[in-house]
């Protein structure tokens, strides 16, 4: 029964319902996250464009990094609100209202602490490429487990994240599924962008500026960012479901619910 509770199929089946209940807060997640995602994409675009000469443009990249840090703060708040909405919906089975906005100060402080650690780890390991999925998992778990905080601490939040890694099977399955989902989303965004260019050309619009941007490879980064933002709500919701069900297993509430369903069965 516990295995079914945390199986990849069960987690993925619950995710769309969690996102649907938290649907009004997806807009907040996107609005607060767009500046950060675009600045982050711009930063990496500049790094790849400069190549071996990146060391000669430290001040230029430092400006990008500073702007990204400033944009990260509202993005983290938007994620905290969205994940809280998902968790409230999982607990009540109904769409949460304005209570989703009332994120406790201890939760915000905890999430800011763990998210900054994860973000630092991301920039330190992104050059390896293979570490990116692992860091993405840590980031999602940081958002999902921060809501357990009753007071700020340095060790307890990290312990909560690590506790969710004890059963790595479902997490690996989620990573595999969302890697495919991200690729599909990127293809769809690319096709939509190309369809927009075709429609603009058919109406006699001037596409010279867009062609210049495409030559500069900027559109590719923007489209990658768009695909990431489409997948992000479901990614966060899946780990919110995982954290919620893990807590049910720890408290025995899952067994109680199972027993009630059995006794109520005709």
Taking the C-alpha atoms of residue 11 and residue 243, their distance in angstroms, rounded to an integer, is 10
Phi and psi dihedrals of 129, rounded to 5? 65, -50
Q: How many CA atoms lie within 13 A of 171 on its CB side?
A: 21
CB atoms within 10 A of CB 117: 16
Residue extents of the structural domains in the chain: 2-109+166-264
Q: What SS3 state is found at 167?
A: coil
pTM: 0.85
Q: What SS3 state is found at 161?
A: helix
Q: What is the DSSP letter of 154?
A: S
In the 3-class helix/strand/coil scheme, how is 89-116 assigned residue by residue? Answer: HHHHCCCCCHHHHCCCHHHHHHHHHHHH
Burial of 193 (0-12, 13-18, 19+ CB in 10 A): middle
> CA-CA distances (angstroms) from residue 62 to 65, 70, 72, 104, 115?
5, 12, 15, 32, 20
Residue whose token pair is 């201890």: 106
> Tens of pLDDT along the chain (266 residues)?
445 677 889 899 999 999 999 998 999 999 999 999 988 888 887 777 776 666 666 676 777 778 888 999 999 999 999 999 999 999 888 999 999 999 999 999 999 999 999 999 998 998 888 899 999 999 999 999 999 988 888 899 999 999 999 889 999 999 999 999 999 998 888 787 777 767 766 666 555 655 555 545 666 777 788 889 999 999 999 999 999 998 887 655 544 444 444 454 44
């Amino acid at each position: 029964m516990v295995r079914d509770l945390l199986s990849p199929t069960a987690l993925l089946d619950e995710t769309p319902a969690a996102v649907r209940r938290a649907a009004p807060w997806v807009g907040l997640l996107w609005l607060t996250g767009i500046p950060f995602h675009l600045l982050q994409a711009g930063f990496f675009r500049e790094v790849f464009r400069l190549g071996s000469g990146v060391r000669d443009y430290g001040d230029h990249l430092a400006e990008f990094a500073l702007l990204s840090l400033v944009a990260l703060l509202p993005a983290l708040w938007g994620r905290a609100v969205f994940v809280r909405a998902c968790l409230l919906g999982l607990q009540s089975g109904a769409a949460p209202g304005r209570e989703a906005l009332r994120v406790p100060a201890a939760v915000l402080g905890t999430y800011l602490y763990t998210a900054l650690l994860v973000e630092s780890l991301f920039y330190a390991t992104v050059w390896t490429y293979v570490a990116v999925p692992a860091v993405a998992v840590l980031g999602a778990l940081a958002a999902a487990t921060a809501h357990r905080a009753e007071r700020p601490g340095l060790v307890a939040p990290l312990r909560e994240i690590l506790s969710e890694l004890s059963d790595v099977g479902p997490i690996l399955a989620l990573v595999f599924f969302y890697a495919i989902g991200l690729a599909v989303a990127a293809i769809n965004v690319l096709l939509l962008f190309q369809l927009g260019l075709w429609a603009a050309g058919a109406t006699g619009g001037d596409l010279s500026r867009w062609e210049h941007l495409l030559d500069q490879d900027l559109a590719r980064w923007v489209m990658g960012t768009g695909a990431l933002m489409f997948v992000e709500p479901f990614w966060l919701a899946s780990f919110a479901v995982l954290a919620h069900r893990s807590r049910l297993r720890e408290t025995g509430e899952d067994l109680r619910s199972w027993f009630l369903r059995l006794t109520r069965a005709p």
